[in-house]
Amino acid sequence: MLTYDEKKQALLAMADALVRNKDAILLENRKDLEEACEITDVMKDRLRLSEERIVSMADGIRRVASLPDPVGKVLEERTNEAGLLIRKVSVPFGVVAVIFESRPNVAADTAALCLASGNVSLLRGGKESFRSCHAIVKALKEGLKQVGLPDGLINMVDDRSRESAMQLMRASGYVDLLIPRGGAGLIRACVENATVPCIETGTGICHIYVDREADFDMALSIIENAKTQRPSVCNAAEVLLVDSQIAKEFLPLLQARLFGVELRLCEKAQKIIDGKAAEELDFDTEFLDYILAVKVVDGVEEAISHIAAHSTHHSEAIITENEETAAYFLSRVDSAAVYHNASTRFTDGGEFGNGCEIGISTQKLHARGPMGLSELNTYRYIIKGNGQIRG
C-alpha cells in the first residue's frame, strides 16, 4: 500500500543506514570469515566485505530507488457486454522469500528490490554469511524505522539450519513467491521440495552456434566475449557448436583466438585441431571457468536438436549472415533469450533496460529471463459495476 515516494524515501534511508553501520557490518563479517575455515578462497572472496563493497551496496539501493514504480499499472482495461468496467492492475505478490548463498550483498540487493516492488521480503542466507546478513538487515531495518515504516517489511530467517530452508519452501499460505539465488544444488532443492510458488533461476549452459555462413571475425569476437569476459556468470557461453562445412577453416582460428581457454573437443573437432577430448558430461556442464566444450554439427538442424537436448534454456546464439537460417534458429530454439549475431552475455536486467535484476528465470511460468521490478508483481482484476447480475 506504500506510495512511490514512501518507498523511495525508505530506500534512500536504507542506503544511508548501511553506510552508517559499516563498522558493525564489517565486524560481523570478520566473525563469519573466521568461522568459515573449510571453504575455498573463491568462496571466502565472495563472503568478504569491505568498506568499498558496503558503499557499492548502498549505491545499488539508491539506483533501485530511482526506478519507476511497477505497482498499480493498468495492464488491460475493457468494458464487457454487461457494462462492467474490468481493469487488470499490477499488484505486488505479498511476501517474497529468497534463499541465497554466500554473497552477503544479496541480502541488501534483494531487500531493496522487494521493497521497491511493494513486497515484504523474507531472506534466508547461507550459513557462511549468517552474521554479515544479519548485520546488513539490522541496518536496513534501522533505515525503515527512521522514515516511520514497520521494520517487518524486511525479515531475515533467524536460523541457519537446512530445516529452516525446508520450512520456507513449504510455507504455503505464508510465502507468495520463492526465489532461490545460488548454485544448481540450491535451485534443484527448491524446485523439488517447494510447495509454495517457486521460480527456477540461474544455471546457464549457454550455446553459440557458428553457421556455415558466419562472418568469422564476428564469430570469434562474440565467442571470446561470451566465454572470457566474465566466465563465472550464468550468461557466459559453455558450449560452442560449429557447422561441419566450415569447421576445418574455423577451428584453427578459434584455437588461436581463445589462447588460454581449455577446449574440450568432440571426435570430429579432434581430427581438425589438437586438444583435450570432450567427455559426454562436458556438454551438460556449466563450467563457469575458462573451459569451452566444442562440437562439430551438420548444420543448423543438428545445432537446434543438440541445444534442445542439452540447454538449460537460458541464452543461446547463432552467428550467421543468412537471415533465413537465423530466423529458423530464432523460432525453434526455446530458451529465455535467443540471439542472432550477438554475445549471450547481454542476458541481464540492466542490459535489457530493467535497471536491476533479482534473478534470471530459466523456467517458463510467470517470467523468463531477467526478472526486474515488474516481474516481482502479479495482477488483480478490479471490476466496477452499478448492480450488474449475471443472466
Binding site for a second copy (CB under 8 A): 1, 78, 80, 82, 84, 86, 91, 93-94, 172, 176-177, 191-192, 195, 197, 199, 215, 218, 221-222, 224-226, 229, 330-332, 334-343, 345-347, 351-353, 363-366, 368-369, 378-390
> Which is nearer to a second copy, 4 or 379 (by Cβ)?
379
The residues that bridge with 210 in the sheet, in sequence order, are: 242, 319
Helix (H/G/I), strand (E/B), else coil: 285? coil
Q: How far apart are CA 272 and CA 294, in angstroms?
A: 12
Place of cell 474490468: 86
> In the structure grid, which three cell numbers stand for residue 123, read together?
531472506
Q: Which amino acid is at 100?
A: F
CB of 69 to a second copy, least distance (A): 15
CB of 59 to a second copy, least distance (A): 20
CB of 271 to a second copy, least distance (A): 29
> CA–CA distance from 232 to each of 30, 208, 235, 319 (Å)?
25, 17, 9, 23
> Which is nearer to a second copy, 95 or 133 (by Cβ)?
95
CB of 176 to a second copy, least distance (A): 5
> Which is nearer to a second copy, 33 or 199 (by Cβ)?
199
Closest CA to 179 of 391, 383, 363, 386: 363
- Counting beta carbons within 10 angstroms of the beta carbon of residue 168, is it exposed (0 to 12), middle (13 to 18) or buried (19 or more)? buried
> In the structure grid, which three cell numbers stand for residue 166, read together?
525446508
CB of 382 to a second copy, least distance (A): 5
CB of 389 to a second copy, least distance (A): 4
CB of 311 to a second copy, least distance (A): 11
Q: How far apart are CA 361 and CA 188, in angstroms?
A: 13
Q: How far apart are CA 238 and CA 312, in angstroms?
A: 11
> Which is nearer to a second copy, 50 or 331 (by Cβ)?
331
CB of 319 to a second copy, least distance (A): 9
Q: How far apart are CA 294 and CA 296, in angstroms?
A: 7
> CA–CA distance from 97 to each of 111, 117, 264, 352 (Å)?
10, 14, 39, 24
> Which is nearer to a second copy, 57 or 236 (by Cβ)?
236
CB of 187 to a second copy, least distance (A): 12
Place of cell 569476459: 229
Helix (H/G/I), strand (E/B), else coil: 344? helix
CB of 1 to a second copy, least distance (A): 7
Q: Which amino acid is at 27?
A: L
Q: How far apart are CA 202 and CA 191, in angstroms?
A: 12
Q: Write the DSSP string, 230-284.
A: -TTSTTSEEEEEEEHHHHHHHHHHHHHHTTTSEEEE-HHHHTTS--EEPPGGGGG
238 within 8 A of 285, measured Cβ to Cβ: yes
> Which is nearer to a second copy, 41 or 387 (by Cβ)?
387
